[in-house]
Chain A
């Protein structure tokens, strides 16, 4: 089954404790991205990746890092989480530049105390 998976689905952590949210897709997609969803703000893009070793900032990259060492994986790293990073996070992938449909993962609800 074609899908985008994220782990963990729910996470409660404390300020400053490094964490990684994993994202994996099994569709051999080139393009992957991370979004955060906050009430009243919709979804905002954090980072995206055009292919292996090619990443770039989205609208709200501060406090986040990403890596793309393999095509299928695109982890989101919070080196020193803060309470304002409490949010619902989505990973998404798309086959190529000429393909428009983005497939979203199930979401990761992160709470930073």
Chain B
């Protein structure tokens, strides 16, 4: 079964600094996708970034980049130049293709990031 592990319950970072949120995954399927979502205190889930298992390059979206290390099964999120508005819960998730047409999204337990002035 697929599994996502986020070992950092909470992280602190100072404004303008970079921070890395850890995510490791476990799957036996060769085709999968990895996501990061942000959940601010208001509760909504905001899609940040996606990495496919066959993508050659690490995904980037503005200040967000995904450090994808396939052999180590890790997909860490790097936020550069942190802002106060980055304070939120962050979830790593994996989509597994499985059998044809089977779509399943598995989430980690999340990391709460607090950005201080």
Contact = CB atoms under 8 A, between A and B. Distances in A.
Interface of A: 31, 33, 35, 40-45, 48, 50, 56, 58-59, 88, 90, 92, 94, 97, 100-107, 109
B44 A45 contact: no
Given A58-B104, A90-B45, A100 B33 contact: yes
Interface in B94-110: 95, 101-110
Contacts, number: 60
B62 interface: no
A42 B4 CA distance: 10
B25 interface: no
Interface of B: 4, 33, 35, 37, 43-47, 50, 52, 91, 93, 95, 101-110
Majority-rule SS of B interface residues: strand
Contacts of A45: 104-106
28 contacts: A31-B103, A33-B105, A35-B107, A42-B4, A42-B109, A42-B110, A43-B91, A43-B93, A43-B105, A44-B107, A48-B103, A48-B104, A50-B101, A50-B103, A90-B45, A97-B101, A97-B103, A100-B50, A100-B52, A100-B95, A101-B47, A104-B44, A104-B45, A105-B44, A106-B43, A106-B44, A107-B45, A109-B43
